[in-house]
Structure 1
Amino acid sequence: MTKDKWHGHIAIFAANILFGINIPIAKTLMPEWIDPVGLTFLRMSFGALAFWVVSLFTLNEKVSKKDLLILFFCAILGTTVNQLTFIEGLGMTSPIDAGLIVTMNPVMVMLISALVLKEPITSKKAGGVLIGACGALLIIWQSYTINQGHSGSLMGNLLCFISVVSYATYLVISKPIAQRYSPVTLMKWMFLFSTILMLPFSMQDVVNAKLFSEDTSLSALASLFYVVFFATFIAYLFIPIALKRIRPTTISMYNYAQPLVAATLAILMSQDTLTWDKPIAALLVFTGVYLVTQSKSRADLENEGNFTTKNKE
């Protein structure tokens, strides 16, 4: 593996660690301190402000009108629809059901990549996705068993599924444009578009939030800082860095690490205990990631002279 690809793996792994830590922290804010939609708007608006400020001190890249249109659709799919449908869906269904649906992300990315980018579905890639899913599902199933289960609503599950498809499509269509611009340039436009799109739906939630009243607390503000700075600005900065270097299917595989990160944090915070399933789940997840990284891409097969549009091996 080249040094450049290693940087891509480190970037997306770091992003998913930040996303995994964000799960319990964001839950401390919602709905007591702020509604989910309001918190999502704060993430988008802070991200837009932060990326535009950083862009003042980096290389100024001119983005063509055609690419701005692509970034607009990336904003719709990768942040606006993805975040809103997941948060609304999570409010209607159980965390267990939502977690099960999210594990479908690498499968969707693999299928969409095959359709759009003509990436082959190799046996290693399909096997890696399946093994990684088993690891994530093991963590989720144990949580379901311990908590004696709770079934979510059909509409909530449907919204979570829309979120998964939206994010998977974003990872695939943003791959080509990620090669042409810096991560800061990509994110400043995406977050600006997302902020504008979300403004009509969320301002009332922000204005009425207890988080910004006299009753606010230092711990709540500290949680907000983590959510908007680390889980938004830093984490989303890492995603295009990874997209520039590794395949969308490989990137999506690291989503399986989020339940492991959340479980590890819960153990460290004495909210959970280390049980037999967690090390096994970790082994399955990282075995799956390894297999996907070892699978051959379209470029690899073309270099070998073995690729046709019908080739799936």
Structure 2
Amino acid sequence: MNQQLKVHGSLFLVALIYGANYSIAKEVMPAYVQPYGLILLRVSGAVLFFWAVSLLRTKEQIQGWADWRRVILCGFFGIALNQLTFFGGLNLTSPINASLIMTITPIVVLIMSAVLLREKVQKQRIGGILLACVGAFLLIYGKTDAKSQGNTLGDILILINATSYGIYLVLVKPLMQRYKAITVVSRVFLVGFLGVLPFGLPQLGTPDYAAFPVHVWAAIAFMIIGVTIMAYLLNAWALTYASPSLLGVYIYLQPVLAILIAVGLGKDVFTWQKAVFALMIFGGVYLVSRPARKRAVPA
């Protein structure tokens, strides 16, 4: 099979997995498992898998307190806070609202890069930040349609989730440059596991697991194996061959697939107001993601 076809296939499958996750997670929570219990199931499976791979493939260790401190921060922002706010928010709001708000992550990365890494922000990107923020604000608070299935608190939690993930992406970059990806991810997930354990453990013991129908077990397996493990591995492989612009296209595809799946399964309704707010968010993210034009140098 052609290499480029494999790359496109992998990125599309990742987008499909993430897009489906919004609706599939709603099948499980809160009717069968509460959100924090579901997080603990997912993170536990990921910790076991990534540590097993790490022990088999490398003996590399994180060196020094400075790097361990960064690992702890990555575990907090990238796993603990990220997962608690995502599943807590998705439990309250609609799949469509959640998927649209998550697209502001590149904007958070730009802002955090400017704050933490002192990177310059061009005027074009400032305009994109403002446009996307207005779109997100209207999506959260502009419930003008009676059919809207969003929830303000849930939307705010998803916004915190997107922000925490953006912070994580900035924090983890130096670690990824110094160590192998599996070394970093296994340690980050372990810290995240310790962070979600106090919240998830009380909810993990309450469900009647013997009464779960097959489709619920399948949904849980999808979230552990598909969303956490398979999507990561596919993304990591594809990113070794894909350009940043190609990755951006598939990031935009995620909410589109999420909307189609949510509407198809009857989990949400896509209104014209959401379409307008989505265009504002997409437009803002596009302006932020587009490379700045280089000024012409006089001869």
TM-score (norm 1): 0.70
The size of the alignment, in residue pairs, is: 289
Name the residue aligned to 2:189.
Answer: 191
Residues 1:161 and 2:122 aligned together: no
Inter-CA distance 128–261: structure 2 relative to 1 (3 Å threshold) = farther
Q: Measure how far apart 1:85 and its partner are.
A: 2.3
Structure 2 counterpart SS, 1:37: helix
Name the residue aligned to 1:109.
Answer: 109
Whole-Å separation in 1 of the counterparts to 2:52 and 2:216: 25
Name the residue aligned to 1:79.
Answer: 79
1:1-313 matches, cutoff 5 A: 15-65=14-64, 66-91=66-91, 98=98, 101-122=101-122, 125=125, 133=132, 148-149=147-148, 152-153=151-152, 156-210=154-208, 212=209, 214-237=210-233, 255-266=251-262, 294-296=290-292
Inter-CA distance 10–86: structure 2 relative to 1 (3 Å threshold) = same
Q: Is the 8 A contact 2:92 2:154 kept in 1?
A: yes
Inter-CA distance 113–181: structure 2 relative to 1 (3 Å threshold) = same
Structure 1 letter corresponding to 2:207: A
Q: Measure how far apart 1:206 and its partner are.
A: 1.1
Q: Measure how far apart 1:166 and its partner are.
A: 1.4
Structure 2 letter corresponding to 1:27: K
Inter-CA distance 75–236: structure 2 relative to 1 (3 Å threshold) = farther
Q: Measure how far apart 1:100 and its partner are.
A: 5.8
Whole-Å separation in 2 of the counterparts to 1:250 and 1:165: 23
RMSD (Å) for aligned C-alpha atoms: 4.6
Instruction: After superposition, give the CA deviation of every residue in 1:199-252 in whole Å (9 maximum; x if it has no partner).
Output: 122112111123x2x211111111111101111112344566788899999978
Structure 1 letter corresponding to 2:20: I
Q: Is the 8 A contact 1:105 1:252 kept in 2?
A: no
The gaps in structure 1 that reach 5 residues or longer are 306-313
The gaps in structure 2 that reach 5 residues or longer are none
Structure 2 letter corresponding to 1:235: A
Q: Is the 8 A contact 2:145 2:271 kept in 1?
A: no
Q: Identity rate of aligned residues, in percent?
A: 34
Instruction: After superposition, give the CA deviation of every residue in 1:131-153 in whole Å (9 maximum; x if it has no partner).
Output: 8x59x97xx79xx7775335634
